[in-house]
A and B are shown apart, each in its own frame.
Chain A
Amino acid sequence: EAGVTQFPSHSVIEKGQTVTLRCDPISGHDNLYWYRRVMGKEIKFLLHFVKESKQDESGMPNNRFLAERTGGTYSTLKVQPAELEDSGVYFCASSDRVRGEAFFGQGTRLTVV
């Protein structure tokens, strides 16, 4: 069974540009989470989808971040326009309805220069 897959693995963009991160959860997992780790800090929750609906977006830092999960399958996280402080590793995780434990992807390392 494939795990949580994230694309790209690395992205370097200039301040002011737009970047879109993608996450493919484990097949059949209704719950999808985005997290972020900035350098020197702990991994922090951004938001939670249940299927295509946003269950909790309390961790989203500001309105430059837009997450979508069309059709309840893969999800995208768009940052527009990117700022220097957006640099970090963005993790996606998914879980099923029964057990609930979250499985993480390898992350996308975003560098804004």
Chain B
Amino acid sequence: QKEVEQNSGPLSVPEGAIASLNCTYSDRGSQSFFWYRQYSGKSPELIMFIYSNGDKEDGRFTAQLNKASQYVSLLIRDSQPSDSATYLCAVNKAAAGGTSYGKLTFGQGTILTVHP
């Protein structure tokens, strides 16, 4: 079993729709959860992080965390063609700001395509 699992997709949604990206993780000791967006040939870009159960909203993005179910998701509202990218879920065992906070375990990523 992989430590972090994502549906590789591709996930295709029409412009203006809600894109829902899902991620499960196996280590119950995981404390911090991240979503990175990566355009082809570019660096992974941090778009959201969450470490408490529930929802966290930032603009069009909402991260949802359920530690009991070991599940984290990312919702993108009003999807735009510019949101087309690979979305990487990553987890960390360290608490926020800890020395090893950047030691991440990644999923394989979900390719999202938003078509006009």
Interface set of A (CB-CB < 8 Å, partner B)? 3-4, 31, 33, 35, 41-45, 48, 50, 55-56, 91, 93-95, 97-107
Q: Pick from B103, B105, B108 the residue with the most CB of A within 10 Å.
A: B103
Contact of A102 among B2, B96, B97, B101 (CB under 8 A): B101
Bound-complex Cα distance A12 to B2 (A): 30
Q: Is B4 an interface residue (CB 8 A)?
A: yes
> Count of B residues near A, CB < 8 Å?
27
Chain B facing A: main interface SS = loop
| Interface, chain B (partner A; CB < 8 A) | 2, 4, 34, 36, 41-46, 49, 88, 94, 96-109
On chain B, the residues within 8 Å of A94 by CB distance are 102
A-B contact pairs, 15 of them (CB 8 A): A33-B103, A41-B108, A42-B2, A42-B106, A42-B108, A43-B44, A48-B102, A48-B103, A56-B100, A94-B102, A100-B94, A101-B49, A104-B43, A104-B44, A105-B43
Across the interface, which residues of A come within 8 angstroms of B2, CB to CB?
42
The chain A residue with its CB closest to the CB of B44 is A104
